[in-house]
Amino acid sequence: MPETSRKHFADLRGQFTGEPRSLAARAIPRITPGTTPPALGLDTCNPAQKRFRAFAAPFLLNAGTAPIRLRNAHAQLASSSGASRIGWSNVVVSPQYNDLSILAEDPDHLVQCLADTTGDSIYGIPGLRPVGVEGRGDALLMKHLPTAAWLRMRYHSHYTPKLRTPPWFFPTNWRRLRRDLVLGPQERNAHDTIPPMGEDAMDLLAGLVARLTCRHEEEQWAVGWLISDPIPRPYHQQSGFDFIQLWGGQDHWTLQWGGYGSVPASDVARALTHPVVGILGARATRSGETRAEVHLRKACLTLEVHHVPRSEYFARANHAEPGEAKR
């Protein structure tokens, strides 16, 4: 691909992802001159990466405590991992061919959300291990043992975007991460809790993870990790606590969220089906403010926004836990 074309597509991709041009350009696949790379490379990755992104989705997208009428006990276990907390830290997701890069001002602070520091627990994404520090803290490289996929926590400052090396680097949390190469009993249990996924659902959930921080200000839509809307819109004053809940099985999954800064369901559907950065073949059969459905071949992802007042979180009357019959 001519260098001018690569720069053009990198700049175009950066308008949606917020990535620096150098990282965006690195992810643009080779194409026939005169054509546009599918989704600008957001879904172009090796098989291990696709499996890892899909597997990580329930850990990255289960946060807080869902309202009683929506609460799923299995999803709450994934929420307990704490991995979703990185989405509340003004990060940028940069999907590459061989790794999933997450750009943050303090990568060392966030690695404690992604990997276990206690020896064997349910914290973090099961099987994620530290590998090494690149440069002088430029990036922290991690490997997911079950899929052999790579994850990079890269230093990136929104105030000094051209600076690739942090002004200081103290790997306090990095040094505390467990480094054994075997999943412990609790870690294995958390790993095995995730339901099986069909191939089409895997493509859909991996694509969702790749677009968690995508946005387009001119078109007035954003994913914003679902509950951190970066577009200047009225907040949902009536909503209670922030929560995200993703669960399902095989080719049918449901993603629910709500809170003060929650984005519309139509925005997430827009990111997944966008003509420039959408997943190839994905289509929205329904797209509204509070509910949308996105299909990819046999897979279906239902998107639901719930503006729930705080009182409902504590009102147990007339509500049964999921799977429990009302008396």
Find the mean pLDDT for residues 141-169.
87
Q: 40: burial class by Cβ within 10 Å (0-12, 13-18, 19+)?
A: buried
For the segment 183-236, what is each residue's pLDDT rounded down to a tens digit? 999 999 999 999 999 999 999 999 999 999 999 999 999 999 999 999 988 776
C-alpha distances in Å from residue 281, one per residue of 42, 143, 186, 327: 14, 30, 38, 45
Mean pLDDT (the chain) is 89
**What percent of the chain has pLDDT above 90?**
68
Domain-wise residue ranges, the chain: 3-30+39-62+88-193, 199-314
* Span of 42-56, 148-162, 240-254 with lowest mean pLDDT: 148-162
Residue 77: the pLDDT is 84
For the segment 34-91, what is each residue's pLDDT rounded down to a tens digit? 778 889 999 999 999 999 999 999 999 999 888 888 889 889 888 989 999 999 889 9
Distance CA(50)–CA(242), nearest Å, equals 28
Residue 275: the pLDDT is 96
Q: 261: burial class by Cβ within 10 Å (0-12, 13-18, 19+)?
A: middle
CB 63 within 8 A of CB 76: no
Residue 141 pLDDT > 70? yes
Name the region of 203 (left: φ>0; alpha: ψ -120 to 50; beta: rest).
Answer: alpha
Distance CA(294)–CA(300), nearest Å, equals 6
DSSP assignment, residue 88? G
